[in-house]
Chains A and B, each alone.
Chain A
Amino acid sequence: MRNPLRTTHFFYKLNTQYSSPLKWHITGDSLLKIISALFASSVLLFLGLMVYELVNGSWLSIQTFGLNFLIGTKWDPAISQVFGALPLILGTTVTSVIALLISVPISLGIGLALSEYMPKKFGFAISFLVELLAAVPSVIYGLWGIYVLIPFLRDHVYLYLRTFFGFIPIFSGPIYGGGFLTASIVLAIMVIPTISSILRDLFSAVPNSLREAMIALGATKWETVKAVVSYARSGVIGAVILGFGRAVGETMAVTMIIGNKFQVWPSSLFDAWYTMSAIIANELLEATYDLYVSALINIALVLLFVTLVINILSRLIVWRSIRLVRGIVKE
């Protein structure tokens, strides 16, 4: 057992021996501590201020429409001055869900390839490249979408889809090239780096003893990999939700591609739509009177709330899962 008195004594002696320089060190240390604590807490302060400003700015809209804002389907700044966000909420949700349907299987493949199949050095290079995808500015994805993806999908994919499956309503109707399906595809590409790098970390944290136990039972590589995924499943769910949060908040590329058409439900997969973030980016500068501005800020508030909840939830799940996965190793 350590004697607490003794440590005090030790410091006491140090203090008296080198009294002045040590004192300076201690003050310098605590000063740094206070300054960094201030910087760290400023993050919370900014978040608080942001929420305050958003609530403040949208107060007029909240007073005028109340909760009806969330279920209203009319957006008429010109004549009746009625604002409802339901079509935007639906647009954001549906494009994000489709983006996940596309990106989750691909990300699972990437995560497993990097952690289970590739040699370490090679895997490192690939995962670096995948993470680089996340650093590409969103406006570049938008441009790529407009100049490369839209012509390609319009001429080589959508046309055939309509020719062969046109009798199904979702594959009928005019083809613009842009639209909510195209936007979802771009979103999918944008969230793949996020999801796949978390999945790689998760799968790499799965202890080798699990793989060896499976292999020793006569499991094939594929069966072993399935066990790895099942072991990390709660983290996989967290990674997917985190990707959803990214997709929900994405603005620039979607605004450039989705077609920005305010409607509750599109007539087909090729139709244009609108999202919460896109309408703010498009209309805020043109909003000419207070209620209009307030309605747009109200959308921002809803968007912030949704993304915050999704992010907190997914982070908690991912952290808990990684801790769980590592914790079992120690036993």
Chain B
Amino acid sequence: MVVPKIKVENLNAWFGKKHVLKNINMEIKENTVTAIIGPSGCGKTTFLRCLNRMHEIIPGARVSGKVIFNGINIYDKGVDPVIIRKKIGMVFQKPNPFPMMSIYDNVAIGLKLNGVRDKKALDTAVRQSLELVNLWDEVKDDLNRSGANLSGGQQQRLCIARALAVEPEVLLMDEPCSALDPISTAKIEALIRRLTENYTIVIVTHNIQQAARISDYTAFFYLGELIEYGPTKQIFENPKHELTRKYIMGEFG
């Protein structure tokens, strides 16, 4: 049996008094793409943010339960969330490159935060990360210009490169294509498939077809609960739960 990369046990999350995630149990397998689907407000994004301890930075937010990553519960006392976030990277819904930094620095910043000062090592990492997201050829002559002038799709790929530069083991993506046009979306979907060779990816998406296209496993969330979780093929062709079937057929959501 394959050991799961991330194992979620009895995870609950709150915003103030609002209970937004209810008793989630789930195993995420290494080098796969796991899609999280469900209607708006069902807790998908909160779930994702619980996986790298980003949920708790919001005032009033609270978490209970376990998220076991590489055998360690990331919510144990004494675990530094900063180190967890270096191992579990994140890409956000809206592309958010640092406008005050050059394209080069946008990619290098993570490594610089890790204390890498060697110019050659940084150069190599920046180039590799940008090549990985197929952005190198588009920006190699503008590395010193601001990342804010790129198109939306380029910005999002820059953000993915930024997250990959620190070589995380898991990449969390929160609707990374929702602000993008179809061509940019296709590029990022192809990229996600390629990344599974070395990374474990969890992606939240509103787009059911996207989940079907790119994911190996799919989890359906509804009102803060995990309704159904299984191989994508099974979820889409033979859902066990009535709610899942209805959502996939587009009857609500």
Measuring CB to CB, which residues of chain A are less than 8 angstroms from any residue of chain B? 119-120, 207, 209-210, 212-213, 215-220, 223, 227, 230-231, 233, 328, 331
B110 lies within 8 A of A218 (CB): yes
Task: Count A-B contacts at CB 8 Å.
Answer: 57
B54 lies within 8 A of A215 (CB): yes
A328 lies within 8 A of B99 (CB): yes
Interchain nearest-CB distance for A234 vs B (Å): 9
B82-95 interface code vs A (CB 8 A; 1 in, 0 out)? 11011001101010
B82 lies within 8 A of A220 (CB): yes
B59 lies within 8 A of A217 (CB): no
Measuring CB to CB, which residues of chain B are less than 8 angstroms from any residue of chain A? 52, 54, 57, 59, 82-83, 85-86, 89-90, 92, 94, 96, 98-100, 109-110, 113-114, 148, 159, 162-163, 166
**Quick one: closest B residue to A234, CB to CB?**
B100
Beyond A119-B59, A120-B59, whether A215 also contacts B85 by CB under 8 A is yes
- CB contacts (< 8 Å) of B96 on chain A: these are 207, 209-210, 212-213
- CB contacts (< 8 Å) of B52 on chain A: these are 216
The 7 A-B residue pairs whose C-beta atoms are closest, nearest first, are A218-B86, A216-B90, A209-B96, A218-B85, A217-B110, A213-B96, A231-B100
Knowing that A119-B59, A218-B86 touch, tell me 11 more A-B residue pairs with CB under 8 angstroms: A213-B162, A215-B54, A216-B85, A216-B163, A217-B89, A217-B163, A217-B166, A218-B85, A219-B82, A230-B100, A231-B98
Cα A218 to Cα B53 with chains together (Å): 11
B114 lies within 8 A of A215 (CB): no
Cα A11 to Cα B90 with chains together (Å): 56
Interchain nearest-CB distance for A51 vs B (Å): 39
Cα A209 to Cα B92 with chains together (Å): 8
The contact sample of 7 A-B pairs, CB cut-off 8 A, is A207-B96, A212-B57, A216-B163, A217-B109, A217-B162, A217-B166, A218-B85
Query: Interface on chain A toward B: helix, strand, loop, or mixed SS?
Result: helix
**Quick one: closest B residue to A230, CB to CB?**
B100
Interchain nearest-CB distance for A215 vs B (Å): 6
A218 lies within 8 A of B82 (CB): yes
B85 lies within 8 A of A231 (CB): no
A213 lies within 8 A of B92 (CB): yes
Interface centre among B59, B94, B100 (most CB of A within 10 A): B100
- CB contacts (< 8 Å) of A233 on chain B: these are 100
- CB contacts (< 8 Å) of B109 on chain A: these are 217
B98 lies within 8 A of A216 (CB): no
Cα A108 to Cα B12 with chains together (Å): 38
Interchain nearest-CB distance for A189 vs B (Å): 31
A210 lies within 8 A of B98 (CB): yes
B114 lies within 8 A of A218 (CB): yes
Interchain nearest-CB distance for B99 vs A (Å): 5
- CB contacts (< 8 Å) of B94 on chain A: these are 209
- CB contacts (< 8 Å) of A328 on chain B: these are 99, 148
> Which residue from A119, A212, A223, A231 sits with its C-beta under 8 Å from B92?
A212
Cα A212 to Cα B85 with chains together (Å): 11
**Quick one: closest B residue to A233, CB to CB?**
B100
Cα A218 to Cα B94 with chains together (Å): 19
- CB contacts (< 8 Å) of B83 on chain A: these are 218
**Quick one: closest A residue to B89, CB to CB?**
A216
Interchain nearest-CB distance for B201 vs A (Å): 15
- CB contacts (< 8 Å) of B113 on chain A: these are 217-219, 223
- CB contacts (< 8 Å) of A210 on chain B: these are 96, 98
Cα A219 to Cα B113 with chains together (Å): 7
> Which residue from A119, A209, A218 sits with its C-beta under 8 Å from B166?
A218
Interchain nearest-CB distance for A121 vs B (Å): 10
- CB contacts (< 8 Å) of A217 on chain B: these are 85-86, 89, 109-110, 113, 162-163, 166
> Which residue from B57, B98, B99, B148 sits with its C-beta under 8 Å from A215?
B57
Cα A91 to Cα B83 with chains together (Å): 52
- CB contacts (< 8 Å) of B54 on chain A: these are 212, 215-216
**Quick one: closest A residue to B148, CB to CB?**
A328
Cα A311 to Cα B20 with chains together (Å): 49
B92 lies within 8 A of A227 (CB): no
- CB contacts (< 8 Å) of A230 on chain B: these are 100
- CB contacts (< 8 Å) of B114 on chain A: these are 218
- CB contacts (< 8 Å) of A218 on chain B: these are 82-83, 85-86, 110, 113-114, 166
Interchain nearest-CB distance for A204 vs B (Å): 14
Cα A287 to Cα B70 with chains together (Å): 84
Interchain nearest-CB distance for A209 vs B (Å): 4
- CB contacts (< 8 Å) of B90 on chain A: these are 216
- CB contacts (< 8 Å) of A209 on chain B: these are 92, 94, 96
A213 lies within 8 A of B98 (CB): yes
Interchain nearest-CB distance for A120 vs B (Å): 7
Cα A199 to Cα B58 with chains together (Å): 22
Interface centre among A120, A210, A215, A216 (most CB of B within 10 A): A216
